[in-house]
Amino acid sequence: MSEEKAVNVGPAKIEIAYERFGDPSAPPVVLIMGIGVQMLGWAEEFCTALAGEGLHVVRFDNRDVGLSTHLHDAPAPDLPAAMAGDMSSASYTLSDMAADTVGLLDALGLASAHLVGGSLGGAIAQTVAIEHPGRVRSLTSIMSTTGDLSVGQARPEALAALAGGGPATTRQEVIDQMLRVSRAVRSPGFAPDEAALAERTGRSFDRSYDPVGIARQAVASLASGDRTGRLRSVSVPTLVVHGADDVMCDVSGGHATAAAIPGAELVIIDGMGHDIPRDVRPRLISLITALVERAEKERRE
């Protein structure tokens, strides 16, 4: 278990930093994180426990975060304009990020994998299932939505937390900012672990801090539009998990995702917000493991 880097990944020929857990010959589960969150967002304990269920777990940095390629030469992203409907500053879309994911599968010699995505990562995983269906064995979409702007919207208090506090530049400022945002969007029904969040945020800052790259990801999400109609083509076993108390991505986004994908299982967790608390991890691992087992059984049959 150590960080590695794949080069010339996908059509964009970028570098992707990744880490693997468990037996490489076991069923592969690829974890995809959300806007601005490095692969460290998938807690090492979570990855290790999932691998302990007999799975080959891969976590990685999306483009523009962590140690993967940052598009520093791309045009400046204009997030306010994108939120108002002007997508002209988008340097890429979720289709490009989905192609990165498939390119990583190629680099790892994986013909297909079980995809698990959180928040924006859920949208990327959905896009892979839509555009590269043969590469997906099962889909787990967590605290995500369909791209339909009538569902899954952030509540005012979440947007205020994101906008407040001014720019953060130093390591401690970034940690303080993350803690402030977390207090607004985290799971009210579960004990927070601010020490772990602060430690992970500090490690992420040490690896790479690129707020412009984060903005590029946000614009890419907005520029990718509504996937609802295309999600009806997804035929792999699918699990949709959402927190009943998510103020960053309203639970309506989870309901809409499950409704759009034929046969999808929807699990709403009371007390869960826009994070994966330590006390939720065992249930999530159980749900993912059961889905993978069902999908693998269907593949054998």
Q: Which residues contact 275 (CB under 8 A, 6 or more apart)?
A: 182, 185, 186, 187
Torsion of CA 235, 294, 148, 144, to 10 degrees: -150
Q: Is 301 helix (H, G, I), strand (E, B) or coil?
A: coil
pLDDT of the chain, 301 residues: tens digit per residue: 689 999 999 999 999 999 999 999 999 999 999 999 999 999 999 999 999 999 999 999 999 999 999 999 999 999 999 999 999 999 999 999 999 999 999 999 999 999 999 999 999 999 999 999 999 999 999 999 999 999 999 999 998 988 877 789 999 999 999 999 999 999 999 999 999 999 999 999 999 999 999 999 999 999 999 999 999 999 999 999 999 999 999 999 999 999 999 999 999 999 999 999 999 999 999 999 999 999 999 999 8
What predicted TM-score, i.e. pTM, was given to this entire model? 0.97
Contact 278, 193 (CB under 8 A): yes
Q: Which residues contact 37 (CB under 8 A, 6 or more apart)?
A: 65, 118, 119, 204
**Token output for 141:** 């979409």
Contact 240, 263 (CB under 8 A): no
